[in-house]
Structure 1
Amino acid sequence: MTLTERVLARADELSGELVEIRRDLHANPELSWNEQRTSRRVLDRLTAAGLSPVPIGDTGVLVDIGSNEGPVVALRADLDALPVPDLTEDPWRSTVEGVAHACGHDVHTTGLLGAGIALASVADELPGRVRLVFQPAEEIMPGGALAAIQAGALDGVTSIFGLHCDPGVDVGSLGLREGPITGAADSLDVRLTGNGGHTSRPHLTEDLTFALGKLITELPAVLSRRLDPRAGVSVVWGLVRAGSAMNVIPAIGRAAGTVRMLDAVAWADAETLVTEIIQQLVEPYGVKPEVIYVRGVPPVINEHASTVLLGQAIETVVGADGLLPTTQSLGGEDFAWYLEQVPGAMARLGTRTPGGPTYDLHQGNLRVDDRAVAIAAKVLAVAALGALTRDL
């Protein structure tokens, strides 16, 4: 058997265990920067496989597989869950109130764990090293990738690969494209203050609620005229809050949401432009804005050679029919920060049961087909082997 065939066979042997681990992680989700139990589970299993993992700060794990001279190929998964209630009725549904793996990071983590264990079985024969990066805090901005990079995740790395669940694609298929596959994403939090008062006398106050309404409707509209339409800018508010009584104009209001766009060039100027427009929009109403703008992530841009290699790995595992084209989304992914420094690629892992319902990410009813876990493990492992050979 070839090295690839042996790694695939080992991943198949692990498939039952990987499903059990994934369900355990799903039942015990942890929020960003609090992934202690998840990290321990990963660290313990890697140690049992004969590896020497090390923690990244309080949460997260790094481990190198192999000791031979040669290239270093990184594989990355994210550990954290979302502050979303689990609405499923599966026996392995979340046991943590208000927290769920509604983005599939339990699948990402377990798939990478399976790839690592399978690669560990041939560690001495690897023409270089494979580095597993179990990263915390992908779900917040600017994301845990920057902390992982600072901790040495990319030291000596020649290329990096990752997967992200796609519940709109059947299990057994993966989506891939060269170039941008996600959008840039930033967070925006605007606090307005003014002199409140009686609703019968708005002219004696700063009508903060009216100003807040103009802000939340006009900012997206103005940006659509100030930026090239091809940038695909999208401002969506997730929180709007002001007042506590129907006949009182409040003195404090708040609107918070995300600013997303497809274009990296437009993203570079977004913070300055958004802040300027907010000042202009609320100035006529006499209220004072405090703008907290956090640059989150640039687009994930798949490099050509790495995309070709990842596509070959997908075809090896699921066949040519399982490699699907995909479109660029406005979703943000801090995997982009790794690709700012080294070449690499990310694919979308199908998790939908064929003929079953289509779910969406970041919703509490997300369910994934368990078969996706072993597929993730095999695709990542084969991609690593291919990259080690290519980068020699």
Structure 2
Amino acid sequence: MTTDARDLAYATSQIVADLEPELIDVRRDLHAHPEPSWQELRTCDVVAARLEKAGIAVQGLPRSGLVAEVGDPDAGPVVALRADLDALPLVDETTDPWRSTVDGVAHACGHDVHTASLLGAGLALAEHHRASPLPGRVRLLFQPAEEVMPGGALDLIAAGVLEDVTSIFALHCDPSIDAGTIGLREGPITAATDSVTVRLRGKGGHTSRPHLTQDLTFALAKLVTDVPGALSRRLDPRAGASLVWGRIGAGSAANVIPAYGEVAGTLRVLDIRAWAQAQQIVDEVVRAVVAPYGVSAEVEHVRGVPPVVNEPWAAGHLAAAAGQMVGVGSLVGTEQSLGGEDFAWYLESVPGAMARLGTRTPGGPTFDLHQGNLRVDDASVPVGSKLLAQVALQALVS
């Protein structure tokens, strides 16, 4: 790193340090007021107000979400930074003063951290630009609806947010590693993810006469247990396919065989080639498993997102930024997960990378994402801001 680059990194650190108390307050405010997918209106208002106060022009999107840009309008290249805004339909089980005030909605995936981190990065970049014009533009994407398939990223792409963009970067909270560390890998870092719902219908009846019915409950049980196993024999086992059911329902009385039942879950696949085959195979296997019981099956298979594949050049910039902004030893290796992320859709068009932002308090308990008891260390917010700001600056001059 040159002396100028060191000076730039130092300046970024100082700017974010000054912003840190405010950014933590923003994160806690967003956490206390979570909004589900496509309804992130208050969240957008909070972010837009702060960006506009700093002189950054903001554009709202038709349904939800914001786009803002730092730098001279005609300058190039353009680097994009993305954060997601939405919360999950879960109960916040924490006891923090900033716990969710919205019944049944919680930031249990850390999107409040992502949003506050990107806000801080944008404010820091604007300060840099006032001191000395950026050699290009940084586009800030505050994206709605990451938690629903196939994801709000597609709406932003359709709105033209990737026009002139040469690279794109993002962070995702990782509560399995400490605040102050960054998880990174080249190549695939997440999995392809689909939603699968199966609805069974048949002739119900009394449990004393199952032979006169189409025993839908029994068929549903066989479907739940047999279909995931059968997939392991129809798809290449190296593809890492995993079908896990999260919801099941049938019947209302112990002595009644119901005429309708439903099961829903997610299919996750590490290999994109196997993902292309998965929908047809799931449909075939479901119908084969329930056929002996005479019930009819309706399979609703919603294609979700492809894997996030980190481009080596972009991952290298994130690694360098982590070393400069967080410190030597802050970077840790990470494995490809079976989680899905609609950031993958941006990478279909432009190169980029996603890093994992450590949120665990050092020495504290390890939580899991998508759980109501998730707690994050607020120290992760300025770390995310510094990393995003610095990787954008690096990408502009590379």
Sort the TM-score into its range (normalised by shorter chain): over 0.9
Structure-2 separation of matches of 1:317 and 1:69: 26
Contact 2:9–2:324 (Cα < 8 Å) also in 1? no
Structure 1, unmatched stretches of 5+, are none
**With structure 1 as the length reference, what TM-score do the two structures score?**
0.98
Q: After superposition, where does 1:356-371 map in structure 2 within 5 Å?
A: 356-371=364-379
Contact 1:4–1:385 (Cα < 8 Å) also in 2? no
Contact 2:91–2:104 (Cα < 8 Å) also in 1? yes
**Residue 324 (str. 1) matches residue 336 (str. 2):** no
Partner of 1:195: helix, strand, or coil? coil
Q: Please, which of 166, 174, 177 is the counterpart of residue 182 of structure 2?
A: 174
For 1:114, the equivalent position in structure 2 comes to 120
Q: Quote the offset at 1:153 in angstroms.
A: 1.6
**Residue 32 (str. 1) matches residue 37 (str. 2):** yes
Letter in structure 2 aligned against 1:69: A
Structure-1 separation of matches of 2:222 and 2:162: 45
Q: Quote the offset at 1:281 in angstroms.
A: 1.2
Q: Quote the offset at 1:345 in angstroms.
A: 0.4
**Residue 315 (str. 1) matches residue 320 (str. 2):** no
**Residue 383 (str. 1) matches residue 388 (str. 2):** no
**Residue 87 (str. 1) matches residue 99 (str. 2):** no
For 1:239, the equivalent position in structure 2 comes to 247
Deviation readout 1:340-380 (Å, 9 max, x if unpaired)? 11100000000111111111101111111111000000000
For 1:130, the equivalent position in structure 2 comes to 138
For 2:355, the equivalent position in structure 1 comes to 347
Structure-2 separation of matches of 1:167 and 1:55: 31
Deviation readout 1:313-335 (Å, 9 max, x if unpaired)? 11111112000000011011111
Partner of 1:12: helix, strand, or coil? helix
Deviation readout 1:134-172 (Å, 9 max, x if unpaired)? 000001111111111111121111000000000110111
Structure-1 separation of matches of 2:94 and 2:373: 5
For 1:140, the equivalent position in structure 2 comes to 148
**Identity over aligned pairs, percent:** 63
Contact 1:36–1:58 (Cα < 8 Å) also in 2? no
For 2:49, the equivalent position in structure 1 comes to 44
For 1:159, the equivalent position in structure 2 comes to 167
RMSD of aligned residue pairs (Cα, Å): 1.0
Structure-1 separation of matches of 2:272 and 2:151: 18
Structure 2, unmatched stretches of 5+, are none
**Residue 257 (str. 1) matches residue 244 (str. 2):** no
Q: Quote the offset at 1:120 in angstroms.
A: 0.8
Contact 1:275–1:291 (Cα < 8 Å) also in 2? yes
**With structure 2 as the length reference, what TM-score do the two structures score?**
0.96
Q: Please, which of 90, 94, 103 is the counterpart of residue 97 of structure 1?
A: 103
For 2:78, the equivalent position in structure 1 comes to 72
Structure-2 separation of matches of 1:35 and 1:225: 42
Partner of 2:267: helix, strand, or coil? strand
Q: Quote the offset at 1:59 in angstroms.
A: 1.2
Q: Please, which of 208, 214, 219 is the counterpart of residue 211 of structure 1?
A: 219
Letter in structure 2 aligned against 1:74: A
Structure-2 separation of matches of 1:298 and 1:56: 24
Contact 1:196–1:248 (Cα < 8 Å) also in 2? yes
Structure-2 separation of matches of 1:156 and 1:50: 22
Partner of 1:329: helix, strand, or coil? coil
Contact 2:9–2:325 (Cα < 8 Å) also in 1? no
Q: Quote the offset at 1:199 in angstroms.
A: 1.2
**Alignment: residue pair count:** 390
For 2:67, the equivalent position in structure 1 comes to 62
Structure-2 separation of matches of 1:246 and 1:339: 50
Q: Give structure 1 regions of 4+ aligned residues with deviation exceeding 6 angstroms.
A: none
Structure-2 separation of matches of 1:177 and 1:56: 32
For 1:277, the equivalent position in structure 2 comes to 285
Deviation readout 1:228-267 (Å, 9 max, x if unpaired)? 1111111111111000111111000000000011111111
For 1:302, the equivalent position in structure 2 comes to 310
Contact 1:138–1:144 (Cα < 8 Å) also in 2? yes
